[in-house]
Structure 1
Amino acid sequence: MPRWSKITLKVLAALVAVIFLIYVGLAIYVSANQKKLLARITEQLNQNISGTMTIGSMNPTFLKGFPGVSLSLKNVILKDSLWENHKHSLLEAKDFDVSVNVLGLLGGHVDIEKIGINNSTIYLFTDSNGYSNTAAFKKKAQQDQSAGKGSVPTQIRNIILNNVDFKVDNRKGHKLFHFVVDELSGKIDYPLLGGWDVDVKLKTLAKSLAFNTDKGSFVKDKLLDGRFKVNYNEETRIFDVAPNKLNIGDDLFIIGGRFDTSREGTDFTIDIEAPNILWRSAAGLLAQNITTKLNMFNLDRPIYVQCTLKGNMGAGGDPLINIKTLVKDNVLTTPGGVVKDCSFNGTFNNNYVNGKGLGDANSIIKLYHFKGSYEEIPFLMDTVFINNLEKPIATGVFKSQFDIAKLNKVLGQETLKFGKGTADVNLSYTADVVDFELTKPLISGSIGIKNADINYVPRKLNFSNTAIQLNFTNNDLFIKNIRLQSGKSVVFMDGVVRNFLNLYYTAPEKILLTWQIRSPQIHLAEFIGFLGSRGRSAKARARNVKRTTLSEDLNAVFEKSNVNMHLSVDKVYYNKFLATNAIADLQLSESGIAIKNVGFKHAGGTLKLNGKITQKGTLNRFNVNAILSNVDIKHFFYSFDNFGLTSLTSKNLKGYLFSKTNISGGITDQGKLVTSSMVGNLVFDLKKGALLNFDPIINVGKFAFPFRDLNHITFDNLNGKFDIRGQKITISPMQINSSLLNMDVAGVYSLSTGTNIAIDVPLRNPKKDADITDPAEKKARRMKGIVLHLLATDGEDGKVKIKLNL
């Protein structure tokens, strides 16, 4: 072995021997002076506390504290001066390790360099009056320090915690922080300027982090693992925690903060940043009542979140909370559906108005540039504000442009079904938020629809190339520039609904939509769906279910609302019927259709009409009051399919009709008149009338009046009154004066069976009296001569037969 190696080994051996001898000497010293050293350590630990610390026993553990001397203290208990009142010890440590400086120990005094707390409980308690057992850490009065025989404050260099139950229980501030520390190690430096710096390695289970115990704990039952660098300024009494990485559960956070102990209760500011965290993971770190609500939503991909908490450890109530988040190209799931391609910047603040306190009532959520796609409908909301989370109110601006057919997925297809066309939406809204859904919004703005095909399903009405402009102003709805086309019918409409938004949700039956309608031509057969009862939704909603869909809301509005229509139509077609210059006021309600102030030109004359159609089942009841003036009777009968008559048709009639009628009856969903249901009366006056080729007259007349013109019977003036009861028409006594003959007619005409009409026919030729100008003389001569008493009854072939009235 080289000589220098031998010398080195000898030196090392000598050093080891010296150290060994020193430690043997220290062991002998410690063993011999245990009581004295225990007293000094107790005095040293009590030096800066105003309470009492007691130590059960002490044993040296040299190797554990090498190169210092480590002493293991058992059953260390720290109490404040008022422990007897609250019974909460600040520290109860089964194992309390203390490392002391060797040179100091040899010099006869104890300098503690390291503390290890194991299998212990640390309980920082504050009662409801604000007193805290941490008062045990307050410095003694200056005179007490000067009496300490020249001792100097202890500068502990290292602190270690293992298996420590750490709890901060503030009954006055309603705060509870509870951690089970698996491992905490801190190396402390003391700069020349005062204070200290500590580098902490932490691994702990967070059992509770409740800033307000009434609302529950944050970060509950999560493992915290990371490092911190803490600076304490003795002059300002402020703790600064430098931002550093901390794992909370499986998620990475960057956390820093400041704690100002110079103020009563300790002011704090905590900055938390989560660069990449899932929504459900973030929600799981909050209090249970908040987590439950937030779990009604979800974002598929991670988001960025930054949070700042400011408050006071001693004060009650919530801390000031500011949260910022960034969401980009995500998938948002909500109770109302799924929003794809979702992006927004969001903030939360619980101090919306300064001076109104911190809490839900003064909180606000702000979302900026919120965009996405709902059921393939793209939308953009520049700003969305939700304030007062106790009674949330949402405000914002909603914009969207889309193919209108995409509304079918949103609204369903039970009320409205959309085909082609586009929609342009620009709405500002304010709405209550109930169970995380917007309810009863107040809307202003516009909705424009162009070139749309729309099917109104309950009434089976189809419209093509439709244009609609909806303008919302305050609570009113203005509907402008509507163009509807159904088959050959083209309708232009403008409408208004006063107080629409309030009534939409609270009393749809009180909604009154007033239309101004104009049209070059309407084919009524294309709107026959209005005659039927409105179809009900296929999905019946249980009475105890409060939440409704938008489709159900619309269905209720269409079903219960009232509509006033003021129509002006150039031409109206219905089967063979044609009217021109038509005007009408119609009122549509849940029960039926009211018809008022109807007037139009038809068959060379005019018609005025008022009435009502009551809708029930497949048969609709109608009641009509009508006045006809100077109407061509041939055209009139032709237009209405001869009113169900088979023996007398438009081919048999000529003249101009004046009539008043009040009649009620039934009409089917297909617009067919149910003749058996009609009840009412008809008064008529036929001027310049003629009966053409009427077979019942010809069949009788060719035997009775072979030399008279039976094919063309004229009437100067024919008037009468009919009483209609189902298929029975009662003919009040009526005189008929014609070119063929005169007759008196009275009885019952039946549309089925039961015809019984008495006819008195003088055989005298009316032409013989044509030159008589005296009305009295003409009336007296009318029934002279032979008079046939005939009876019109049912024949065996179902046709009316004429026979002598015996």
Structure 2
Amino acid sequence: MPKWLKISLKVLGALILLVVLLAVGATIYVSNNKEKVLAQVIKKLNENLDGSLTVGDIRPSFFSNFPDVSLSLRDVVIRDRQFPKHHHTLLNSKEFNVSVNAAALLRGVISINNIDIDNAAIDLYTDSLGYSNTSVFKKSKKEKVKAEANESNSSTQLKRFSLANVNFTIDNQKAHKLFNFAVSQLAGKMTYPDTGWHANVHLNVLAKSLAFNTKRGSFIKNRQINTDLDAGFNEETGKISVKSNNFDIGGDVFGLNTLFVTGEGDDSFAFHLTNEKLLWRRASALLAPNIQRVLNKFNLDKPINVKAIISGSFGGGDPYFNVAAGVTDNKLTIPGAVIDDCNFDAVFTNENIKGKGFSDANSVIRLKKFSGSYSHLPFKIDTGSITNLEVPIATGNFKANFPVTNLNYLLTGNVAKFTKGQVAMDLRYKADVVNLQINKPAVQGTIGLSGANVRYVPRNLNLTNSSILLDFKGNDLFLKNIRLQSGQSIVKMEGAVKNFMNLYYSAPEKILIDWQVSSPQIYLGEFLGFLDSAKPSKAPSKPSGNSADMVKRLAEVLNSAKADMHMKINELHYRKFLAKDVKSDLLLSEDGIRIKQLALATSGGSLKLNGNLVQKGKVNDFIMQTDIKGVNVSQFFYAFDNFGLGDLTSQNLRGNLSALTSTTGSVTNTGDIVKHSIRGKVKITLSNGALLNFKPIKSVGKFAFPFRDLDNITLSTLNGDFDIMGDKITINPMEISSSVLNMDVAGVYGLTNGTDIALDVPLRNPKKDEDITDPEELKKRRFKGIVLHIRAHEEEGKLKIGWNKNHK
């Protein structure tokens, strides 16, 4: 062996022997001077305390932290001076292991390098007045100066520290904060650069309570935290930074960046947490119960990207929250609805307005680039928000464009059934949020429907190639560019509803739509659904919740609302009836139709009408007043299907008719007049008229005038006054002057039975008086000569003609 190597080994051996001897010497020293060393350790530990520290026993441990000497302190208790009042022990440790420098110890100096605390409880307590038991670490100025003078004989720079089986509590009664952790393991290594200190820490704890406000409950309650931390302290700024890339909370791994600020009047904190794949329900489980209860009423099926900031002061008050989330291609469940294909960016903060505090009232949820599909209705919300979570208000811009057939999933066939068309929506809304559901939204903007084919179920009305634009302004609704087509009928409309948004929710029966209607042609038979009572909406099998309520509300509004219609129609068709230049004011309601004014040209004359149609089901009652002027009587009777008369038809009449009627009756929901239902008064004037093959007159004529032409009886002017009572028509005394005979008629004509008519018929032939033009002279000659008094009445179901024995 070379000489230099032998010398080196001897030196190394001597050094090792020296170190061992020093350690053994220190151990022997501690063992032989236990009370002295214990007193030195206690004195050292008490240097920075303003209270009491007691140690039950001290034992050396040679190999624990070789070459340092480990001192195992048993039953270590640290209390502040106010302990008798609040009874909160700052530290109670069964095992408190301290590693000291062996060489320094032999010189009588305690230099602590490592501290290990096992089976302990640490309780940092602050009472309601702000006093804290951590004041045990505060020293007076004189004591600080004395401690600094002894600094050359001591060192408190820890190299390693650990906690095991330690219950750590921060209980701040004044700030209503409670942090409690069961520490399974906390182990760290420390270095001391010029700026302060740096530590690498492994942490495994159970978070029993992380309550920033005990009134609201704890975050991450009973969650296991397992992580590696990188921490550092800067003496100049007084800031402690903590970072981790594997901050595991109950199995969810976050990125953590935390900053604590210490110093006079400043004890703030800020947590930055990130997780790119966090499930909604697992995220809500980490929050306080008051937030968790709300969030659990929602859900997102797939993980989301979350970034959160929590900051505040340990001195008191609610912390600041700012949570940002990114949602992509997800399924969102909200109370009463499900939104598919959901994408959005969201931010929550409890400081909507700077300087107004951190509270629910000052909270806001902001949404951007929100898109999704609700019940097959794709939509977008470019910006939206929910403010004031105590009394939530939702606002936003809502846009949608989709085939109108998609509405069938929402309406479920109870209100309307679409087969063709397109919907475009551009709305700005503001609404209360009651029980987490949108309530009574105020809407601005437009809803457009184009090229639509639809069946309106409550009225059994079919429309094709129809369009409508709903324009919401303030509380009012304007209906524009409306085109409705049903069969051959084409209607163009403009409308308005004042105070629509308020009445829609509070009193739909008070909604009045003011319509301006024009049409080149309308076939009323295509709108007979309005004669039928509106069918009640069935309870939808799907969807449910918000959508079901919306469909039900929409059906109620459409059924209950009234429509004031001002109409101009070029041609109006109904079966055989044709009218032109129709002008009408109608009021349509749930109960029926009120005709306030109707004027039209028909059958060569004119007709004015007003009245009501009251809906009662399959049979509907009407009340009508009409003023008919100069119509062709044959065409008029033909158009109205002879008004239900069996014997007197359009083929029996000729001339120009004017009439005033006031009648009631019934009409079926298919538009047919119920037989014998008409009651009322009818006054007619027939000029240049004729009765053609009228059986009742011919029957009488055969008996009285067998040789006169009764097939074509011309009438100069006929005035009639009739009372109609179902199947009975009362003929008030009426003079008939014709080309065949003159007569006075009075009595009852029965459409089915009960006919009893008295006729006074002069035998004088009217043709003899054709050249007389003086009305007075004609009246004198009218009953000149023989007059027959005839009675036509019904006996045993047969009409009998005979002399009127009751004539006076």
Q: Provide TM-score, normalisation by structure 1.
A: 0.94
2:162 aligned counterpart, secondary structure = strand
Query: What is residue 298 of structure 1 aligned with on the other side?
Result: 299
Shift of the 803–113 alpha-carbon distance from structure 1 to 2, 3 Å rule, reads farther
Inter-partner Cα distance in structure 1 for 2:39 and 2:484: 101
Query: What is residue 229 of structure 2 aligned with on the other side?
Result: 228
Inter-partner Cα distance in structure 2 for 1:236 and 1:148: 22
| More moved, 579-588 vs 372-381 | 372-381
Instruction: State the Cα distance separating 1:63 from its structure 2 match.
Output: 2.7
Inter-partner Cα distance in structure 2 for 1:754 and 1:377: 65
Q: Deviation per CA, 1:236-287, whole angstroms, max 9, x where unpaired? A: 3221223533111121111112111114361112211112212222122111
Determine if contact 2:187/2:202 at 8 Å carries over to the other structure. Answer: yes
| More moved, 165-174 vs 137-146 | 137-146
Shift of the 407–506 alpha-carbon distance from structure 1 to 2, 3 Å rule, reads same
Instruction: State the Cα distance separating 1:565 from its structure 2 match.
Output: 0.6
Q: Deviation per CA, 1:533-580, whole angstroms, max 9, x where unpaired? A: 111011299xxx999622111111112111111110001111111110
Partner amino acid, structure 1, of 2:494: D
The count of corresponding residues between Structure 1 and Structure 2 is: 800
Partner amino acid, structure 2, of 1:174: H
Inter-partner Cα distance in structure 1 for 2:61 and 2:51: 28
| More moved, 415-424 vs 290-299 | 290-299
Inter-partner Cα distance in structure 1 for 2:708 and 2:97: 143
1:526 aligned counterpart, secondary structure = helix
Inter-partner Cα distance in structure 2 for 1:481 and 1:499: 21
| More moved, 762-771 vs 246-255 | 762-771
| More moved, 220-229 vs 786-795 | 786-795
Q: Deviation per CA, 1:613-632, whole angstroms, max 9, x where unpaired? A: 11122221111111000011
Inter-partner Cα distance in structure 1 for 2:6 and 2:755: 151
Determine if contact 1:47/1:153 at 8 Å carries over to the other structure. Answer: no
Determine if contact 1:265/1:315 at 8 Å carries over to the other structure. Answer: no
Determine if contact 2:27/2:61 at 8 Å carries over to the other structure. Answer: no
Determine if contact 1:416/1:457 at 8 Å carries over to the other structure. Answer: yes
Instruction: State the Cα distance separating 1:515 from its structure 2 match.
Output: 0.8
Determine if contact 1:467/1:482 at 8 Å carries over to the other structure. Answer: yes
Query: What is residue 739 of structure 2 aligned with on the other side?
Result: 739
Instruction: State the Cα distance separating 1:14 from its structure 2 match.
Output: 7.3
Instruction: State the Cα distance separating 1:643 from its structure 2 match.
Output: 1.1
| More moved, 336-345 vs 305-314 | 336-345
Instruction: State the Cα distance separating 1:441 from its structure 2 match.
Output: 1.8
Partner amino acid, structure 1, of 2:803: L
Query: What is residue 461 of structure 2 aligned with on the other side?
Result: 461
Determine if contact 2:51/2:80 at 8 Å carries over to the other structure. Answer: yes
Partner amino acid, structure 1, of 2:433: V
Determine if contact 2:335/2:546 at 8 Å carries over to the other structure. Answer: no
RMSD, aligned α-carbons:
2.5
- Percent sequence identity is 50
Q: Deviation per CA, 1:659-701, whole angstroms, max 9, x where unpaired? A: 1111111111111112333221111111111100112322332
Determine if contact 1:296/1:335 at 8 Å carries over to the other structure. Answer: yes
Q: Deviation per CA, 1:772-805, whole angstroms, max 9, x where unpaired? A: 4454443344334433333333365x67443433
Query: What is residue 192 of structure 2 aligned with on the other side?
Result: 190
1:538 aligned counterpart, secondary structure = coil
Q: Deviation per CA, 1:112-166, whole angstroms, max 9, x where unpaired? A: 2111111211111111112211112224424454168724452222211111111
Query: What is residue 649 of structure 2 aligned with on the other side?
Result: 649
Inter-partner Cα distance in structure 1 for 2:799 and 2:431: 71
Inter-partner Cα distance in structure 2 for 1:698 and 1:167: 117
Inter-partner Cα distance in structure 1 for 2:217 and 2:547: 29
Inter-partner Cα distance in structure 1 for 2:798 and 2:223: 97
Query: What is residue 262 of structure 2 aligned with on the other side?
Result: 261
2:280 maps to 1:283? no
Instruction: State the Cα distance separating 1:585 from its structure 2 match.
Output: 0.6
Shift of the 521–178 alpha-carbon distance from structure 1 to 2, 3 Å rule, reads same
Determine if contact 2:112/2:155 at 8 Å carries over to the other structure. Answer: no
Q: How does 1:111-126 map to 2 (within 5 A)?
A: 111-126=111-126
Query: What is residue 314 of structure 1 aligned with on the other side?
Result: 315
Determine if contact 1:343/1:369 at 8 Å carries over to the other structure. Answer: yes
Inter-partner Cα distance in structure 2 for 1:119 and 1:634: 114
Shift of the 83–12 alpha-carbon distance from structure 1 to 2, 3 Å rule, reads same
Q: Provide TM-score, normalisation by structure 2.
A: 0.94
Query: What is residue 172 of structure 2 aligned with on the other side?
Result: 170
Query: What is residue 427 of structure 2 aligned with on the other side?
Result: 427
Determine if contact 1:696/1:800 at 8 Å carries over to the other structure. Answer: no
Inter-partner Cα distance in structure 2 for 1:484 and 1:272: 58
Determine if contact 1:48/1:140 at 8 Å carries over to the other structure. Answer: no
Determine if contact 1:696/1:801 at 8 Å carries over to the other structure. Answer: no
Shift of the 263–606 alpha-carbon distance from structure 1 to 2, 3 Å rule, reads farther
Determine if contact 1:361/1:390 at 8 Å carries over to the other structure. Answer: yes
Instruction: State the Cα distance separating 1:528 from its structure 2 match.
Output: 0.3
Instruction: State the Cα distance separating 1:459 from its structure 2 match.
Output: 0.2
Instruction: State the Cα distance separating 1:61 from its structure 2 match.
Output: 3.0
Instruction: State the Cα distance separating 1:529 from its structure 2 match.
Output: 0.6
Instruction: State the Cα distance separating 1:438 from its structure 2 match.
Output: 2.2
Query: What is residue 368 of structure 1 aligned with on the other side?
Result: 368
Query: What is residue 629 of structure 2 aligned with on the other side?
Result: 629
Shift of the 147–496 alpha-carbon distance from structure 1 to 2, 3 Å rule, reads closer
Partner amino acid, structure 1, of 2:644: G
Determine if contact 1:230/1:242 at 8 Å carries over to the other structure. Answer: yes
Inter-partner Cα distance in structure 2 for 1:265 and 1:127: 19
Shift of the 263–645 alpha-carbon distance from structure 1 to 2, 3 Å rule, reads farther
Query: What is residue 801 of structure 2 aligned with on the other side?
Result: 802
1:616 aligned counterpart, secondary structure = coil
Partner amino acid, structure 2, of 1:178: N
Inter-partner Cα distance in structure 1 for 2:62 and 2:88: 33
Q: How does 1:222-621 map to 2 (within 5 A)?
A: 222-264=223-265, 266-316=267-317, 318-539=318-539, 549-621=549-621
Query: What is residue 93 of structure 2 aligned with on the other side?
Result: 93
Query: What is residue 179 of structure 1 aligned with on the other side?
Result: 181
Partner amino acid, structure 2, of 1:744: D
| More moved, 480-489 vs 279-288 | 279-288
Instruction: State the Cα distance separating 1:491 from its structure 2 match.
Output: 0.6
Q: Deviation per CA, 1:2-30, whole angstroms, max 9, x where unpaired? A: 99999999999877766665554434322
Inter-partner Cα distance in structure 2 for 1:9 and 1:82: 60
| More moved, 767-776 vs 683-692 | 767-776
Determine if contact 2:23/2:68 at 8 Å carries over to the other structure. Answer: no
Partner amino acid, structure 1, of 2:737: N
Instruction: State the Cα distance separating 1:762 from its structure 2 match.
Output: 2.4
Inter-partner Cα distance in structure 2 for 1:540 and 1:326: 34
Shift of the 143–120 alpha-carbon distance from structure 1 to 2, 3 Å rule, reads closer
Inter-partner Cα distance in structure 2 for 1:256 and 1:144: 34
Inter-partner Cα distance in structure 2 for 1:617 and 1:85: 84
Determine if contact 1:634/1:654 at 8 Å carries over to the other structure. Answer: yes
Instruction: State the Cα distance separating 1:717 from its structure 2 match.
Output: 1.3
Determine if contact 2:210/2:218 at 8 Å carries over to the other structure. Answer: yes
Inter-partner Cα distance in structure 1 for 2:495 and 2:730: 46
Inter-partner Cα distance in structure 2 for 1:223 and 1:757: 106
Instruction: State the Cα distance separating 1:728 from its structure 2 match.
Output: 2.1
Determine if contact 1:297/1:335 at 8 Å carries over to the other structure. Answer: yes
Shift of the 208–267 alpha-carbon distance from structure 1 to 2, 3 Å rule, reads same
| More moved, 785-794 vs 169-178 | 785-794
Query: What is residue 213 of structure 2 aligned with on the other side?
Result: 212
Partner amino acid, structure 2, of 1:274: N
Inter-partner Cα distance in structure 2 for 1:498 and 1:703: 69
Q: Deviation per CA, 1:298-338, whole angstroms, max 9, x where unpaired? A: 2222221111222111122x222222222222222222433
Determine if contact 2:418/2:453 at 8 Å carries over to the other structure. Answer: yes
Determine if contact 2:490/2:521 at 8 Å carries over to the other structure. Answer: yes
Query: What is residue 102 of structure 1 aligned with on the other side?
Result: 102
